[in-house]
């Protein structure tokens, strides 16, 4: 077995026992990346040199007998919308093609403090807008299970690279499902925590009310291990919750007896792929066999979820992306006649179609005369849905549904039908609208072998319950085939 | 007189002098080298997030309390979206929907009476950077981001102001209040206080006319000029039978003219929406109570008191009231009840003001104390020294810590009231000025003044002038 095939917690043990060095590990992954990433395009920037240097430093520390964190010496991939000091951060856009981030995001700072080794910046939909990693200026990212198919998105690069053993784990970001949906497509575990559990400082904002940074891993154990390091209050993010984390990994517990799992059956009429529904029902059976209780539930006002999400997220995006104006950094068009012309040309040339679409949509719904009819209404609708979920969590511990209504679709699909693309998020956006934690774990494959994801959601700040449920499921479930590359 | 009534409302921005900026930890400091007080947050770099500086809320609430506003216990920040190179995020974090303070008023003395201007709202927001246009090329502009994120309060008045003079008095009152609260440097040349002006005209008894807003007004005197210009412009239009269109105008103070910036039809749509990066700001009743205890009697109120209770002239009342340390000194003097407020006022407005003005010093830089001033006035009242000698003593008291008694004896300024001594002086003067004596006897009464003057001179101004005069008269009989 090659080093790159191990899970992160296994690597952590091997490093700790000095069976391997971090330099060995990083070299193994760099070779793997150089061998397979041509097919997948999961990296935007590879930091092989600095990663090896960092690995040497960590190895030296370990030899000196220093007590190191579980993450020490293990490489990690960072989605390219998270700021890593002195490393280019493109956000998958021509707009930031040459932008070098001058500071570390809080999550990156915490990784560095844990002696984690940042190995590269991962491909993504432009400014995290998309569900397929096809809107990236640096080309589409492919699915390791079938390179004619998409990796999902927007954190497609993270999920594909973890799935293809190019990195043991990664940090993605999730605004409407951008961690969970690609995880579902690539057979990885993707975790979005409670809004406010992980600092957003240094994460390029898409929709500030929903954005969360989170782990994409090979298993639930790795997820808990990584989450423990990045979670917790940050005084640089005013929306950060005053909560302490750090013991989810140690407290992982394989026991779901008596756990109440709610299933909103009426949502699943829209699942077009029978395999997905079958896979989902099989997972429920696994839970039942483990002693969990399955309950029928109804989430109210679900039909408003998708429109509300797209109105609010686009409104916030239109404002968040306004700073990319060609004045201070990023792309600036040539041959501009005046200031306005510079704004128009730089933004027209620097942004791709999907960004422009959402900026225009967001600008529209915030405009005088439309604000009440769109933005305000969407906020009310989001509140209704959040209220409904919150009251459901008084009765159940977990809400279960498929992560995505389908498995990975073909590259090129849905690009000219944005609404169809937006529907990929129909099951994932609930957790963002309500701010609750949600996880996607592999739960099977469709008839051609593409992974299916099971999504579990829990009440706000009940990360441990959620991780325990996912952990129990993972232990009881046979797992899925690894991709063959 | 014009048949139109002028209606003015002011939107006044004041820079708060908190140690750090409103949404980041950068120093809030004027005059630092270009782009030195900047960080990812105030530069609007991708991923950076704002954190509201609590002192800004405190300062703004204190101003709200000073202007008798209702303080909203929950207030919200909103994004005001527009593109401009001095605004790095392309939105300003401001307050649109729920400002910190609302529905207040300020009273001040203007034109022989107490005037009241209502305050619509006070909200907090961030300042923008500064564009520096190149001297060498018309195509080059540089940006200094030091001012980005400097905290501002915007004080929006109701359209209660009726003249340029009243606008000036209102602004002076605001400035004095800001200065009393110590929340603004009030350095006009550094742009600490800036005001936009809204002007409309209507006929008496008719509803308000259409207003025009004027921007780019950089001083209080420019506010006066802009209002007068705009009043004239609108009066002319109305007399010509034209309609006033809602417009935003840019005031050019050098040319003394305003220029059209935009009309209502192409007004900016700022697309305000709640700032998702900053949760609502909560202020407890307890904090409001705590802040209100820090608010002293304010200069506008003091000025009104000085005029209406002590009968002090309005210019003098303003001079004293609007200078916090002088007002405090004055109030302390009055509290001793040794002399009349008018007496204290005359010393402050006379010798003290002259000295402070000439030396460019603050009262605190002098050695003057309430007790010393009282002793000095006593010495005059008790005929120990003459009025003119008292001025000499006062000059010393400002710079030296010394008792009035000591300085009088040190300078030998004690008044001579001894009859024998005064007679000796008078006899000498009369014998040396026989002509004047005979003039007086022949009915030229002003010769007496000359003779008294000569006596005073001979006595080095120490002679008691009243007694001196009596003795001269008795000797000439």
Q: Which two tokens stand for residue B72?
A: 């909203």
Q: How far apart are alpha carbons A421 and A194 in whole angstroms?
A: 25
Task: Say if residue B35 is in the same domain as residue B135.
Answer: yes
Task: Say if residue B148 is in the same domain as residue B174.
Answer: yes
- Strand ranges (E), B240-387: 247-252, 257-263, 273-274, 281-282
Task: Say if residue B177 is in the same domain as residue B39.
Answer: yes
> Among candidates B357, B398, B41, B272, which has minimal Cα distance to A237?
B41
Output the pLDDT for position B464: 83
> Helices (H), strands (E): how many in chain B?
16, 16
In this complex, do B40 and A327 lie within 8 Å of one another by their Cβ atoms? Answer: no
Q: Which two tokens stand for residue A202?
A: 């240094």
Count CB pairs under 8 A between chains A and B.
100
Put simply, whether B35 touches A (Cβ < 8 Å) is no
A154 is catalytic: yes
In this complex, do B277 and A208 lie within 8 Å of one another by their Cβ atoms? Answer: yes
A155 is catalytic: no
Local confidence pLDDT in tens for the 477 residues of chain B: 578 999 999 999 999 999 999 999 999 999 999 999 999 999 999 999 999 999 999 999 999 999 999 999 998 999 999 999 999 999 999 999 999 999 999 999 999 999 999 999 999 999 999 999 988 888 889 999 999 999 999 999 999 999 999 999 999 999 999 999 999 999 988 889 999 999 999 998 899 999 999 999 999 999 999 999 999 999 999 999 999 999 999 999 999 999 999 888 777 899 999 999 999 888 999 999 999 999 999 999 999 999 999 999 999 999 999 999 999 999 999 999 999 999 999 999 999 999 999 999 999 999 999 999 999 999 989 888 888 889 989 999 999 998 998 888 888 777 777 788 888 898 999 999 989 888 988 888 888 889 988 888 888 878 888 888 889 888 887
Task: Say if residue B190 is in the same domain as residue B128.
Answer: yes
Cβ–Cβ under 8 Å, residues A385 and A304? yes
Write out chain B residues lying below 8 Å of A343, CB-based.
83
Write out chain A residues lying below 8 Å of B89, CB-based.
322-323
Task: Say if residue B333 is in the same domain as residue B439.
Answer: no
Put simply, whether A91 touches B (Cβ < 8 Å) is yes
User: What is the least distance, in Å, from the CA of A48 to any CA of chain B?
Assistant: 24
User: What is the least distance, in Å, from the CA of A148 to any CA of chain B?
Assistant: 33
Q: How far apart are alpha carbons B118 and B104 in whole angstroms?
A: 6
Put simply, whether A89 touches B (Cβ < 8 Å) is yes
Q: Final residue of a domain: which of B368, B394, B411?
A: B411
Task: Say if residue B369 is in the same domain as residue B285.
Answer: no
Output the pLDDT for position B282: 87
Task: Say if residue B424 is in the same domain as residue B358.
Answer: no
Output the pLDDT for position A262: 98
Is residue B309 in a domain?
A: no
Local confidence pLDDT in tens for the 485 residues of chain A: 999 999 999 999 999 999 999 999 999 999 999 999 999 999 999 999 999 999 999 999 999 999 999 999 999 999 999 999 999 999 999 999 999 999 999 999 999 999 999 999 999 999 999 999 999 999 999 999 999 999 999 999 999 999 999 999 999 999 999 999 999 999 999 999 999 999 999 999 999 999 999 999 999 999 999 999 999 999 999 999 999 898 999 999 999 999 999 999 999 988 889 999 999 999 999 999 999 999 999 999 999 999 999 999 999 999 999 999 999 999 999 999 999 999 999 999 999 999 999 999 999 999 999 999 999 999 999 999 999 999 999 999 999 999 999 999 999 998 889 888 898 899 999 999 999 999 999 999 999 999 999 999 999 999 999 999 999 999 999 899 999 98
Nearest CA in chain B to A200: B47
- Strand ranges (E), B19-100: 70-71, 74-75, 78-81, 91-94
Is residue B242 in a domain?
A: no
Domain ranges of chain A: 3-254
* B105 alpha carbon, distance to own chain's centre: 18
Task: Say if residue B155 is in the same domain as residue B28.
Answer: yes
Q: Final residue of a domain: which of B411, B435, B453?
A: B411
Task: Say if residue B54 is in the same domain as residue B189.
Answer: yes
Domain range for B348? 323-411
For B116-156, what is each residue's pLDDT tens digit?
Answer: 999 999 999 999 999 999 888 888 899 999 999 999 999 99
Output the pLDDT for position A323: 98
Output the pLDDT for position A459: 98
Cβ–Cβ under 8 Å, residues B213 and B248? yes
Q: How far apart are alpha carbons B381 and A382 in whole angstroms?
A: 80
Q: Which of A22, A69, A178, A193 is catalytic?
A: A178
Task: Say if residue B283 is in the same domain as residue B331.
Answer: no
Q: How far apart are alpha carbons A132 and A157 in whole angstroms?
A: 10
> Helices (H), strands (E): how many in chain A?
15, 13
Put simply, whether B90 touches A (Cβ < 8 Å) is yes
A136 is catalytic: no
For B228-249, what is each residue's pLDDT tens digit?
Answer: 999 999 999 999 999 999 999 9
Q: What is the pTM of this model?
A: 0.92
Write out chain B residues lying below 8 Å of A366, CB-based.
81, 271-273
Secondary structure class of B10 (helix, strand, coil): strand
CATH of domain A3-254: 3.90.1300.10
Write out chain A residues lying below 8 Å of B46, CB-based.
81, 83, 89, 91, 96, 99, 101, 204-205, 323
For B327-369, what is each residue's pLDDT tens digit?
Answer: 999 999 999 999 999 999 999 999 999 999 999 999 999 999 9
Q: Which two tokens stand for residue A338?
A: 């005046």
* A15 alpha carbon, distance to own chain's centre: 27
Write out chain B residues lying below 8 Å of A375, CB-based.
273
Is residue B247 in a domain?
A: no
Q: How far apart are alpha carbons B296 and B180 in whole angstroms?
A: 8
Cβ–Cβ under 8 Å, residues A452 and A445? yes
Q: How far apart are alpha carbons B74 and B122 in whole angstroms?
A: 14
Put simply, whether A203 touches B (Cβ < 8 Å) is yes
Task: Say if residue B284 is in the same domain as residue B333.
Answer: no
In the stretch 91-120 of chain B, residues with CB closer than 8 A to chain A read 91
Put simply, whether A327 touches B (Cβ < 8 Å) is yes
Peptide bond into A154 cis (omega under 30): yes
CATH number where B445 lies: 1.10.10.410
R_g of chain B, CA atoms, integer Å: 30
Nearest CA in chain B to A328: B88
In this complex, do A319 and B279 lie within 8 Å of one another by their Cβ atoms? Answer: no
Output the pLDDT for position B25: 97
Q: Which of A79, A192, A218, A221 is catalytic?
A: A79
Q: Which two tokens stand for residue A261?
A: 């799992």
Nearest CA in chain A to B90: A323
Task: Say if residue B351 is in the same domain as residue B381.
Answer: yes
Output the pLDDT for position A221: 98
Is residue B401 in a domain?
A: yes
Nearest to A319 among B40, B45, B79 (CB): B79
> How many structural domains does chain B have?
3
């Amino acid at each position: 077995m090659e080093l790159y095939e191990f899970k992160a917690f296994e690597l952590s043990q091997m490093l700790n026992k000095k069976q391997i060095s971090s330099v060995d590990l990083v070299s193994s992954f760099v070779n793997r990346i150089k061998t397979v990433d041509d097919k997948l395009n999961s990296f935007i920037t590879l930091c092989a040199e600095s990663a090896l240097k960092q690995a040497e430093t960590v190895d030296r520390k370990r030899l000196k007998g220093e007590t190191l964190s579980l993450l020490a010496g293990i490489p990690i991939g960072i989605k390219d919308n998270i700021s890593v000091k002195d490393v280019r951060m493109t956000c998958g856009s021509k707009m930031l093609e040459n932008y070098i981030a001058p500071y570390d995001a809080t999550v990156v700072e915490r990784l560095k403090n844990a002696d984690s080794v940042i190995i590269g910046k991962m491909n993504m939909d432009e400014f995290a807008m998309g569900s397929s990693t096809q809107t990236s200026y640096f080309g589409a990212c492919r699915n390791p299970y079938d390179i004619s198919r998409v990796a999902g998105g927007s954190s497609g690069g993270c999920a594909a690279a973890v799935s293809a053993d190019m990195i043991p784990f990664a940090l993605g970001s999730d605004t409407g499902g951008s961690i969970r949906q690609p995880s579902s497509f690539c057979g990885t575990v993707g975790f979005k925590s409670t809004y406010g559990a992980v600092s957003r400082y240094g994460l390029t904002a898409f929709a500030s009310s929903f954005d969360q940074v989170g782990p994409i891993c090979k298993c639930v154990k790795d997820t808990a291990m990584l989450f423990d390091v990045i979670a917790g209050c940050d005084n640089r993010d005013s929306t950060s919750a005053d909560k302490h984390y750090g013991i989810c990994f140690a407290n992982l517990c394989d026991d779901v007896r008596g756990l109440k799992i709610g299933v909103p059956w009426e949502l699943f009429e829209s699942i077009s792929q029978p395999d997905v529904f079958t896979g989902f029902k099989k997972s429920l059976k696994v839970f039942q066999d483990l002693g969990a209780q399955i309950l029928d539930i109804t989430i109210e006002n679900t039909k408003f979820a998708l429109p509300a999400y797209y109105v609010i997220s686009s409104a916030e995006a239109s404002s968040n992306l306004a700073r990319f104006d060609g004045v201070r950094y990023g792309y600036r068009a040539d041959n501009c006649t005046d200031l306005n012309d510079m704004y128009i040309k730089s933004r027209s040339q620097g942004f791709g179609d999907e960004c422009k679409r959402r900026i225009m949509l967001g600008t529209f719904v915030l405009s005088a005369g439309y604000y009440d009819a769109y933005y305000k209404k969407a906020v009310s609708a989001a509140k209704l849905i959040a209220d409904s979920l919150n009251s459901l969590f008084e009765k159940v511990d977990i809400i279960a549904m498929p992560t995505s209504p389908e498995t990975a679709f073909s590259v090129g699909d849905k690009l000219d039908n944005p609404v169809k693309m937006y529907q990929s998020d129909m099951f994932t956006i609930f957790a963002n609208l309500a701010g609750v934690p949600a996880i996607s774990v592999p739960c099977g494959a469709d008839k051609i072998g593409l992974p299916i994801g099971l999504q579990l959601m829990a009440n706000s700040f009940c990360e441990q319950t959620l991780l325990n449920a996912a952990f129990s499921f993972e232990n009881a479930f046979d797992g899925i085939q690894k991709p063959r590359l | 007189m014009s048949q139109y009534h002028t209606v003015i409302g002011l939107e006044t921005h004041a820079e708060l002098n908190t140690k750090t900026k409103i949404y980041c930890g950068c120093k809030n400091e004027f005059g630092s080298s270009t782009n030195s007080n900047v960080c990812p947050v105030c530069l609007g770099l991708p991923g950076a997030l704002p954190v509201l500086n609590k002192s800004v809320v405190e300062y703004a609430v204190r101003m709200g309390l000073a202007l008798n506003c209702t303080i909203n216990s929950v207030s919200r920040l909103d994004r005001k979206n527009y593109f401009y190179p001095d605004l790095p995020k392309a939105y300003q974090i401001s307050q649109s929907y729920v400002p910190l303070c609302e529905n207040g008023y300020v009273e001040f003395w203007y034109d022989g009476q107490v005037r009241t201007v209502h305050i619509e709202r006070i909200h907090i927001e961030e300042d923008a950077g500064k564009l520096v246009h190149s001297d060498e090329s018309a195509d080059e502009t540089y940006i200094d981001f030091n001012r980005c994120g400097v905290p501002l309060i915007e004080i929006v008045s109701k359209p209660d102001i009726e003249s340029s003079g009243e606008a000036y008095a209102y602004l002076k009152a605001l400035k004095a209040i800001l200065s009393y609260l110590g929340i603004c440097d009030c350095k006009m040349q550094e742009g600490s206080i800036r005001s936009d002006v809204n002007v409309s005209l209507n006929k008496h008894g008719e509803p308000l006319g259409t207003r025009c807003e004027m921007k780019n007004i950089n001083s209080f005197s420019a506010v006066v000029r802009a209002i007068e210009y705009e009043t004239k412009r609108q009066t002319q239009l109305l007399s010509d039978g034209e309609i006033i269109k809602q417009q935003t105008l840019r005031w050019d103070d050098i040319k003394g003219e305003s220029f059209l910036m935009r009309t209502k039809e192409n007004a900016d749509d700022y697309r305000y929406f709640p700032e998702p990066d900053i949760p609502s700001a909560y202020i407890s009743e307890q904090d409001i109570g705590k802040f209100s205890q820090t608010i002293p009697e304010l200069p506008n109120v003091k000025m009104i008191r000085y005029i209406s209770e002590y009968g002090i002239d309005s210019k003098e009342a303003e001079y004293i009231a609007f200078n916090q340390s002088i007002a405090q000194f004055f109030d302390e003097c009055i509290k001793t009840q040794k002399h009349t407020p008018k007496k204290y006022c005359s010393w402050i407005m006379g010798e003290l003001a002259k000295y402070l003005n000439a030396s460019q010093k603050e009262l605190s830089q002098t050695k003057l104390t309430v007790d010393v001033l009282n002793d000095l006035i006593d010495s005059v009242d008790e005929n120990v020294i003459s009025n003119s000698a008292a001025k000499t003593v006062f000059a010393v008291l400002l710079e030296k810590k010394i008792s009035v008694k000591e300085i009088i004896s040190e300078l030998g300024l004690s008044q001579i009231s001894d009859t024998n001594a005064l007679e000796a002086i008078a006899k000498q003067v009369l014998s040396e000025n026989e002509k004047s004596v005979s003039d007086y006897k022949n009915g030229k009464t002003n010769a007496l003044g000359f003779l008294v003057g000569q006596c005073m001179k001979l006595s080095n101004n120490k002679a008691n002038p009243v007694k001196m005069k009596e003795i001269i008269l008795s000797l000439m009989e």
